A and B are shown apart, each in its own frame.
Chain A
Amino acid sequence: MTGLTRAFTNARLIDPSQKLDELGTLLIVDGQIGAIGKSVDLPADCETFDCQGKTIMPGLIDMQVFTGEPGEEHRETLATASQAAAAGGVTAMVTMPNTNPVIDDAALVDFITRRARDTAIVRVHPMAALTKGCLGAHMTEFGLLREAGAVAFTDGDRAVMNALTMRRALSYAANFDALIVQHAMDQDLQSAGVMHEGELATRLGLAGIPAAAETTMIDRDLRLVELTGGRYHISQISSAESVATIRAAKKRGVSVSCGVSATHLMLNQNDVENYRSFAKLSPPLRDEEDRLALILGVADGTIDVVVSGHNPQDAEAKRQPFAQAAYGTVGVETLLAGLLTLHHANELDLATLLACVTQRPAELLGLDGGRLAVGDAADFAIVDLGEPWIVDADALRSKSQNAAIDRRKVQGRVYATYVNGEAVFTLA
């Protein structure tokens, strides 16, 4: 090796994929991980950084990021999303296809990949549309899209309502072992609903979304998964019933996985009190009991991944009467801090949480990364696990400031983020 070598010494090294948690050194050679562990022999010409006890962890893989590129660049571009990601220790973003135009053609996957290469500072893995135009009717070209680089297939924030379409998609995707990702929300049951159905919605005079809108869709799809042998993933679940349903399905051996957003692990429906549209999400924030069930689901592995569900919306789209306001919160920059805050609140253990944003999404999507293994690209973050700070939406790097957890106290600060061994973010 003649390339650049850098050693990060005196670091707490955490990698859930290797069950690693020890003090030691990470050695980077030519942008790859050269060695990791308690005692690493440092080459003579090696640059050395003393981490002063801070933690080095694999760069996060955020499995659900909406951007506005192409089509709504005023909300977010791949470049701005990637800067927010880097500041949050996220080294790979999985982007959603429901842009304008929809990413339903190999040429458009190629466009995303090239734009990301030219403008983004972290890795970008596009998901492609499951149906043309995300309209729920005609399957996209899974084979060609995969070859172009699509890592999974989804209609983004729109559910595939037609059971036959879903059956065919699962069947056809099984040819390629491709992952089908569903936004589990029965639109008929949702109807005009905009928040969790219950006493609070009734008091606010807002139409509710019953948990059954989610579970009936999951129940239906699980039958189709068993029928077809496809690989099926639910992008975000929100209710206790869904956790129970998926837990039971996994026990039966059904090929199902699911995610939850960090926001749903931190907040509940009380955060929409006073018509706070910045906490209007899809799926909606539900009861505290649901939140606790989601935490348990993460703890016992029923829930595979935690995502940010990063969904930038400009202020005009949010400062509306609640029913008219746009769904979504930004979150890629605060994903890790949110999870570490849950860890410090003793709600979940560190290795489990980190696995949900590193190893697990990598495995589900078949990506190299999400770990600190020798020979892998050196994508990692240096983090002070305990440092407290207050989320200030205006200070976030995203183009949009719609943060549901604005003004919240969190713990865990990213000091630096590296992709291919190069710093893409350093805390000022």
Chain B
Amino acid sequence: MTDKQPQGAFAHRDLLGIEGLSVSDITHLLDAADTYVEHNRQVDKKTSALRGRTQINLFFESSTRTQSSFELAGKRLGADVMNMSVAASAVNKGETLLDTAATLNAMNPDLLVVRHGDSGAVALLAQKVSCAVLNAGDGAHEHPTQALLDALTIRRRLGKLEGLRVAICGDISHSRVARSNLLLLNRMGASVRLIGPQTLLPAGAEQLGARVFTDMREGLAGCDIVMMLRIQNERMEGALIPSVREYYHLYGLDREKLSFAKPGALVMHPGPMNRGVEIDSAVADDGEISLIRDQVEMGVAVRMAVLEALAANLPNAAEGSR
């Protein structure tokens, strides 16, 4: 596409990742999301910011929470929202990815929210469509709205991001959430620690700007925030870690391990949780320290802010399509 780069407060055509966003881009989105948090607590949650716009949620990987969060966000902004779930098994690999892109493009959507199991797939698709594309998770690459909602959750609770020490624990290797959070937190001046067994830590993680720990207690020392990641079943049973019980013993977040973090440290999880695998229920359900429910609420607000920011860069119908 040879379109002019959009100008304005959020000068991006698509949101493909946190990489490429500046401090002011991120701050802009978080500020906008902040206002939507209050808005979403009113009785009348509907606005007309996206009135007339069509939003398609294209999910090549099933996801209940992210898809419904995007759906709700679009609907509250007044967009027409369509959900398309393309079961991974039915897709003949990426061959239909570009076919699907071409088909959808012909329907003239304004906003395309895409989740795909392959890293880079959303960016590839974005090259082939003329609407704004929002990455809702691509392989082990990025999940930018998750990082934004996590940042909003932290900022609302602690008032800032800068100077905080954040631990991300678990399956870092396969986690797009970890990558996006690492990028965002680093950019906003927080320091990030990655904690997990060597088999779940990616090569060269230190070069991405994080301190890496295999001992959870050591890694948690002095942390303001502890982000737990979901461990996928297929990673267990001897492939990358020997067993659930050993994983829980070494890396499951319980009160004892949490006591090594800063007093009053807060706990986060992108969901869905495996209780008794990566997190103990006593920690997850403790409203004093767990931000897990806040995260879900912030998710809708952040997605509204992102949808609105991208829609603001869409050409008006009078100017023709891009």
Interface residues of A (CB under 8 A from B): 197-208, 210, 274-275, 316, 319-325
Of chain B, the residue at the smallest CB distance from A317 is B95
Whole-angstrom distance between the alpha carbons of A201 and B119 in the complex? 10
On whether the beta carbons of A323 and B124 are closer than 8 Å, the reply is no
Whole-angstrom distance between the alpha carbons of A204 and B176 in the complex? 10
- A-side contacts of B71, CB under 8 Å: none
3 tightest A-B CB contacts, nearest first: A199-B204, A205-B141, A321-B118
Of chain A, the residue at the smallest CB distance from B128 is A319
On whether the beta carbons of B95 and A316 are closer than 8 Å, the reply is yes
Interface centre among A203, A210, A316, A320, by most B CB within 10 Å? A203
On whether the beta carbons of B204 and A202 are closer than 8 Å, the reply is yes
On whether the beta carbons of B204 and A198 are closer than 8 Å, the reply is yes
B residues 109-138 near A (Cβ < 8 Å) are: 116, 118-121, 123-124, 138
Q: Contacts A321-B124, A324-B94, A324-B118: A205 and B207 contacting too (C-beta < 8 A)?
A: no
On whether the beta carbons of A320 and B204 are closer than 8 Å, the reply is no
Whole-angstrom distance between the alpha carbons of A23 and B259 in the complex? 81
> Given A200, A206, A275, A316, which contacts B140 in the complex, CB threshold below 8 Å?
A206
Whole-angstrom distance between the alpha carbons of A424 and B139 in the complex? 48
- B-side contacts of A274, CB under 8 Å: 123
Q: Shortest CB–CB separation between residue A284 and chain B, in angstroms?
A: 13
Is B202 part of the contact surface with A, judged by Cβ < 8 Å? Answer: yes
Is B4 part of the contact surface with A, judged by Cβ < 8 Å? Answer: no
Q: Shortest CB–CB separation between residue A402 and chain B, in angstroms?
A: 15
On whether the beta carbons of B95 and A320 are closer than 8 Å, the reply is yes
> Given B93, B98, B138, B203, which contacts A205 in the complex, CB threshold below 8 Å?
B138
> Given B93, B140, B142, B204, which contacts A324 in the complex, CB threshold below 8 Å?
B93
Of chain B, the residue at the smallest CB distance from A191 is B239
- A-side contacts of B19, CB under 8 Å: 203
> Given B95, B118, B139, B208, which contacts A203 in the complex, CB threshold below 8 Å?
B208
Is B230 part of the contact surface with A, judged by Cβ < 8 Å? Answer: no
Q: Shortest CB–CB separation between residue B247 and chain A, in angstroms?
A: 20
On whether the beta carbons of A321 and B97 are closer than 8 Å, the reply is yes
On whether the beta carbons of A321 and B120 are closer than 8 Å, the reply is yes
- A-side contacts of B208, CB under 8 Å: 199, 202-203
Is B289 part of the contact surface with A, judged by Cβ < 8 Å? Answer: no
What would 11 more interface pairs be, CB under 8 Å, given A199-B205, A205-B141, A321-B120?
A: A204-B119, A205-B120, A205-B138, A210-B203, A320-B93, A320-B95, A320-B124, A321-B94, A321-B97, A322-B119, A324-B94
- B-side contacts of A210, CB under 8 Å: 203
Whole-angstrom distance between the alpha carbons of A323 and B93 in the complex? 10
Whole-angstrom distance between the alpha carbons of A199 and B119 in the complex? 15
Is B179 part of the contact surface with A, judged by Cβ < 8 Å? Answer: yes
Whole-angstrom distance between the alpha carbons of A153 and B123 in the complex? 41
Q: Contacts A320-B93, A320-B97: A205 and B140 contacting too (C-beta < 8 A)?
A: yes
Q: Shortest CB–CB separation between residue B125 and chain A, in angstroms?
A: 9
Interface size of B in residues (CB-CB distance below 8 Å): 26
Q: Shortest CB–CB separation between residue A287 and chain B, in angstroms?
A: 11
On whether the beta carbons of B124 and A204 are closer than 8 Å, the reply is no
Q: Contacts A320-B97, A321-B97: A275 and B204 contacting too (C-beta < 8 A)?
A: no
- A-side contacts of B207, CB under 8 Å: 199
Whole-angstrom distance between the alpha carbons of A201 and B202 in the complex? 9
Q: Contacts A203-B208, A319-B98: A208 and B203 contacting too (C-beta < 8 A)?
A: yes
- A-side contacts of B202, CB under 8 Å: 201-202, 208
Q: Shortest CB–CB separation between residue B77 and chain A, in angstroms?
A: 29
The contact sample of 29 A-B pairs, CB cut-off 8 A, is A199-B204, A202-B179, A202-B202, A203-B208, A204-B119, A204-B120, A204-B141, A205-B138, A205-B179, A206-B139, A206-B140, A206-B141, A208-B202, A208-B203, A274-B123, A275-B119, A275-B123, A316-B95, A320-B93, A320-B95, A321-B94, A321-B97, A321-B116, A321-B120, A321-B124, A322-B119, A322-B120, A323-B118, A323-B119
On whether the beta carbons of A198 and B203 are closer than 8 Å, the reply is yes
Q: Shortest CB–CB separation between residue A191 and chain B, in angstroms?
A: 10
- A-side contacts of B118, CB under 8 Å: 321-324
- B-side contacts of A319, CB under 8 Å: 94, 98, 124
Of chain B, the residue at the smallest CB distance from A319 is B98
On whether the beta carbons of A202 and B205 are closer than 8 Å, the reply is yes
Of chain B, the residue at the smallest CB distance from A201 is B203
Of chain A, the residue at the smallest CB distance from B118 is A321
Q: Contacts A205-B141, A323-B119: A275 and B203 contacting too (C-beta < 8 A)?
A: no
On whether the beta carbons of A321 and B121 are closer than 8 Å, the reply is yes
Of chain A, the residue at the smallest CB distance from B207 is A199
| A-contact 0/1 string along B284-315, CB 8 Å cutoff | 00000000000000000000000000000000
Whole-angstrom distance between the alpha carbons of A204 and B97 in the complex? 19
On whether the beta carbons of A205 and B176 are closer than 8 Å, the reply is yes
Whole-angstrom distance between the alpha carbons of A207 and B94 in the complex? 17
Whole-angstrom distance between the alpha carbons of A199 and B205 in the complex? 6
- A-side contacts of B119, CB under 8 Å: 204-206, 275, 321-323
Q: Shortest CB–CB separation between residue B198 and chain A, in angstroms?
A: 13
On whether the beta carbons of A205 and B116 are closer than 8 Å, the reply is no
- B-side contacts of A322, CB under 8 Å: 118-120
Whole-angstrom distance between the alpha carbons of A319 and B97 in the complex? 10
Q: Shortest CB–CB separation between residue A299 and chain B, in angstroms?
A: 29
Whole-angstrom distance between the alpha carbons of A274 and B124 in the complex? 9
Q: Shortest CB–CB separation between residue B60 and chain A, in angstroms?
A: 10
| A-contact 0/1 string along B21-46, CB 8 Å cutoff | 00000000000000000000000000
On whether the beta carbons of B205 and A275 are closer than 8 Å, the reply is no
Q: Shortest CB–CB separation between residue B252 and chain A, in angstroms?
A: 25
Q: Shortest CB–CB separation between residue B90 and chain A, in angstroms?
A: 15
- B-side contacts of A202, CB under 8 Å: 179, 202-205, 208
Of chain B, the residue at the smallest CB distance from A276 is B120
- B-side contacts of A204, CB under 8 Å: 119-120, 141
